[in-house]
Amino acid sequence: MSRTPAIQTKFPTMGTTIFTVMSALAAEKNAVNLGQGFPDFDCDPKLVDGVTEAMRKGLNQYPPMPGVPVLREAIAAKVETLYGRKYDPASEITVTAGATQAIITAILAIVKPGDEVIVLEPCYDSYVPNIELAGGKVVRVPLVPHSFRPDFAKIAAALSPRTRAILVNSPHNPSATVWTREEMLQLQDLLAPTDVFVISDEVYEHMVFDGQQHQSAARFPGLAARSLIVSSFGKTYHVTGWKIGYVAAPAALTAEFRKVHQFNVFTVNTPMQYGLASYMASPEPYLQLPAFYQRKRDLFREGLARTRFELLPSQGSYFQCVDISKVSDLGEADFCKWLTSEIGVAAIPLSAFYGDGFDQRVVRFCFAKKDETLQTALDRLAKL
């Protein structure tokens, strides 16, 4: 008899993600989906033209394992111009199959079984499973509720001789907060006497509002020396489905990163790399991104202000969080299901980003949408 052997799951408590649940419900109810974080508008046609041209030139075979040199050079030039840190394109920049692959590869490269890794909750949902796949122990440290600022006393208390790394994310998903220069300096000082690595998730680096600067770990010598910095072309250029990102790190860290990268991905889509390199010749698309998304943020916030939601600050990324306390007595998850089914707008509960499901009556919307999409959602939310 044929028989499939029993498998012992690596994730016994893991079910379907809230993003899958809410997107399916939004489709069923014909709701405006402001839950998942991706645009509903197209990228610049010039970017597609660049990829098409590369394909027609025959650039369709395997590229070098760390990425095509011309793209790594463009990345290094951008980072140096923006943040003042010079990375060697040959030995310190690696092109990845999206930021999520970059993060798991970074974790697998530096985390050994039994090592502790600090995550600051609420956090992006891949962090914890990635650490567990590496055999590491997750140490959860909450950001300050509602303000989502780092609590350095709690971070310091979480550090131990077994701490291998800390994951930092700014601009922050899901809260839309942005770390300040003072906070980055405080992190640098805290880690200075340790051997703790930093995985700095900076995928929303070009979406910082109200005249603020993105405080990349690359700006701070003490952090840059111990950091693997992750970014995303998908977020920057509105092509999340392309799944291309990169990691910048000192040569010794990059060498370890590439040892894993070559065996879990090996390399990344060739013509898209050439298309991106060509498109990066002009910095205007990413330099204009803060104003582009700030206008959408302001449009969305203006509409939300006419509801009973309490708006939390949106300092960066393309997310807007709101307190639902004056709208409903439901918990976050039940409220999001109700909002999708009865009002026709999908959101994501922040409790989904906490290991213990901490419910602070806050939900997240994504405003990376066409103006007409946002207006439709606001018309429906006006009922509240």
Both 260 and 149 in a single domain? Answer: yes
Tens-place pLDDT, residues 127-174: 999 999 999 999 999 999 999 999 999 999 999 999 999 999 999 999
Asked which of 283, 317, 342 is the last residue of a domain, the reply is: 283
Residue 1's pLDDT is: 81
Average pLDDT in the 59-71 region? Answer: 98
Claim to verify: residue 240 and residue 303 sit in the same structural domain: no
Query: Does residue 206 share a domain with residue 168?
Result: yes
Q: What is the DSSP string of 244-293?
A: -EEEE--HHHHHHHHHHHHHHT----HHHHHHHHHHTT--HHHHSHHHHH
Whether residue 158 sits in one domain with residue 86: yes
Judgement on whether residues 216 and 149 belong to the same structural domain of the protein: yes
CA distance 296 to 110: 39
Q: What is the mean pLDDT of residues 239-263?
A: 98
- Asked if 125 and 251 sit in the same domain, the reply is yes
Among residues 249, 283, 317, which one ends one of the domains?
283
Share of the chain above pLDDT 90, in %: 95
Asked, for residue 3, whether it belongs to a domain, the answer is no
* C-alpha to C-alpha distance for 236 and 116, rounded to whole angstroms: 31
Q: Is 319 a domain residue?
A: yes
Q: In this model, does residue 15 exceed pLDDT 80?
A: no
The answer to whether the predicted template modeling score (pTM) of the entire model surpasses 0.85 is yes
Domain that residue 109 falls in: 60-283
Q: Which of 263, 283, 303 is the last residue of a domain?
A: 283
Place of tokens 């680096």: 205
Query: For the chain, what is the domain count?
Result: 2
Same domain as 255, residue 132: yes
Based on the fold, state whether residues 142 and 188 are members of the same structural domain.
Answer: yes
Mean pLDDT for 82-104 is 98
The pLDDT tens digits for 154-164 are 999 999 999 99
Mean per-residue pLDDT, 96-114 = 98
Same domain? For 251 and 292 the reply is no
- Count the neighbouring beta carbons within 10 Å of the beta carbon of residue 371: 13
Longest CA–CA span in the chain (Å) reads: 68
pLDDT in tens, 195-250: 999 999 999 999 999 999 999 999 999 999 999 999 999 999 999 999 999 999 99
Q: Would 52 be classed as within a structural domain?
A: no
Per the CB < 8 A criterion, the answer to whether 258 and 265 are in contact is: no
In a domain, 4, yes or no: no
359 shares a domain with 343: yes
